[in-house]
Structure 1
Amino acid sequence: MKRLLSFMLTLALCLPMIACGLGNTPADNGGAGNGNSTNHTDTQTPETPEVPAPPYTFVTETTADKYSNDEGKLIASYSYSIIRMKLAEGADEAVQTMAETFNAEMDALLGRCLESGEELGDWAIYDPNIGDGNHYTDEVDVSWEQVGDFLSISYNGYYWAGGAHGMPNCYSYLFDLERGVYIDPIEIADDPELFRSTVTDLLLDELDSNPDYAGGFFEDYAATTSKWNEFCVLLGETDMTVVFAPYVLGPYAMGAVEVSIGYDEIRTVLGEGGVERLGI
């Protein structure tokens, strides 16, 4: 009898301990347990909204032709590549107007090029040195880069119509995609004239300190440099480049003169609006 009572007493004392032990066991379905349990919450990175593609693209169009003499020998050729804005289907009226403005200027450029190319054929006929492996040539290639609100367009050309050497050339266009118009390079800044004069000083500092150009410039090179915005000006991701073709600042042997200016050097004179428009 005493043994039975002792067993029952021991069992009564153990049951609460077993119950407490079971209570510390996390549920199989991941429900709430004690402080040692871990709750996992699935998190998803919010998707970045896609920026809609503009209702236009830019394409290259090339026009080329060749001229031969009565003997069938090649005497002249030309090849002109220009950029054109091509509209997507359903583009609104404002975009259509912008495309008309953009393409009209490029069509005018092509027209001037074609006049030059057609003259080559007429001139080459009278050159006795043409037709034996050499011929007059006029070539223009195009490239472009969008920087912020602007499309920076570069044309590089090469022209030869007899003589000791041909003439490389470059020129540029800058199109404001927000306003839908071509602009002068100084207009990227809030204060265009301050920008022009500041860039002029930076250009002259670079030209005067470069030993490769020492004493080689024409006498009026400083005045010409001050009109840098009328020459080839290219916008890039981190800098602006000004290119003067041969014979602009110095003799042909000097070649093209090219100077790049980092945006960090001109950020202040660009102004807040200029910095924003460039996206820098």
Structure 2
Amino acid sequence: METVIALVLFLSILTGCAGETLTNVKSSSITPNAAQMEEAVRYTVETETCADTIQAEDGTELLVYQFEVPELEVCRADGEIVNEAETDQEEQALTAAETFNARFADWLDGSSLDVFLEAAKEELEFSRAEGLTWSPYTLELQCEVYQNDRMVSVSGTYYSNTGGAHPNTAVLSWNFDLREGNFFTPALLAADSDEFLKAVEQELNVQALQIAADADLPPEEYFWADYTDILRDWVNYAVSFDETGMTVAFSPYELACYAAGEQVFHLPYDQILPYLSEHGKRVLGISQED
């Protein structure tokens, strides 16, 4: 049962959320084109919390969930939320917001919870038949949002406890270019993507050696035996940005055993700056040019 649930979890990593809407837990706003005059728009990201407890017919708790979902809104310079565009700039901004919000819409649609509910019902019946203690399934999503005048970077942690020896955790990330109106991968920020990918790979290997040394273990024992191959593919894992630099994170099991936990690597901007294109510098807020 645990194996089946774990598979469902990662196949349904963008599972939905249907329930009570609680108070927003964090919000901030940015002005993408500060040099522009009255037609300037602002993007506001608010993290909406959705939570609910689903019970069986006899009142037994089957599933408890709480998801923090970022939502992008467009405001005018005076703070008024833009629902209908009055200018071309507002139209472009609304289109960008729709693209961003569509990526997270599945968290707000409860249809994907059905598979977890059915599994919880089966597990509850099994637990009662075997005289085992029952605990409801638990699903959580927590998000941290960083934004500058050109991009929004979201880092998320998805937690699930669906029985078995221990819960599961997955680290996630989404990076969005407000001007272009689309999500991007870090390689698109580089002047030479191959050179950039290789340089980051080398730095990750250096940091990995230090992590293993701190644990007083050789790296091939602390990490999986093929950890260098995994690090080579770093761009396809959770990559996010904040005011200090770029973070590359691996979920438990991806780079090392569960007990080792998440493996997090941080590169300050001065390390990646030589490999960025002018476009990449602007997106990350490193360049003042537009």
**TM-score class, shorter:** 0.7 to 0.9
1:196-217 superposed Cα distances (whole Å, 9 cap, x missing partner) = 1111111011102321263221
User: Which piece of structure 1 moves more, 241-250 or 185-194?
Assistant: 185-194
Q: 2: CA distance between counterparts of 1:238 and 1:70?
A: 50
Identity %, equivalent residues? 30
- The CA deviation at 1:63 is 3.0
The letter of the residue matching 2:170 is: N
Given candidates 225, 229, 232, the residue that maps to 1:226 is: 232
Distance in structure 1 (CA, Å) of the matches to 2:277 and 2:133: 57
Partners of 1:63 and 1:49 lie apart in 2 by 37
Residue 207 to residue 51, structure 1, CA distance change in 2 (3 Å): farther
Equivalent residue for 2:182?
181
2:263 is the counterpart of 1:257: yes
Amino acid at match of 1:243: A
* Aligned length in residues: 231
Alignment pair present for 1:77 and 2:64: yes
User: Which of structures 1 and 2 has the larger relative contact order (alpha carbons within 8 angstroms, sep 6+)?
Assistant: 2
**Alpha-carbon distance between aligned partners in 2 of 1:110 and 1:188, rounded to the nearest angstrom:** 31
For 2:176, give the aligned amino acid.
F
Higher Cα Rg, which structure: 1
Residues 247/68 of structure 1: CA separation in 2 closer, same or farther (3 Å cut): same
Residue number in structure 1 paired with 2:29: none
**TM-score, with normalisation over the residues of structure 2?**
0.72
Match of 1:14 in 2: none
Deviation at 1:104, TM superposition (A): 1.5
Task: Rate the CA distance shift 1:169–1:51 in 2: closer, same or farther, 3 A.
Answer: farther
Quote the residue 2:77 is aligned against: none
SS of residue matched to 2:154 = strand
Q: Name the CA shift for 1:99/1:171 in 2 (closer, same or farther; >3 Å).
A: same
User: Matched residues in 1 for 2:47 and 2:280: separation?
Assistant: 29
Q: Is the 8 A contact 1:221 1:249 kept in 2?
A: yes
Give the match's secondary structure for 2:122. coil
Which whole-Å deviations, capped at 9, do the CAs of 1:143-198 have from their partners, x for residues lacking one? 21014522111111111111011011110000011111100122122222221111
Corresponding residue SS for 1:170: strand
Matched to 2:233, the amino acid is: K
Q: Where does structure 2 lack aligned partners over 5 or more consecutive residues?
A: 1-33, 75-80
2:64 matched to 1:68? no
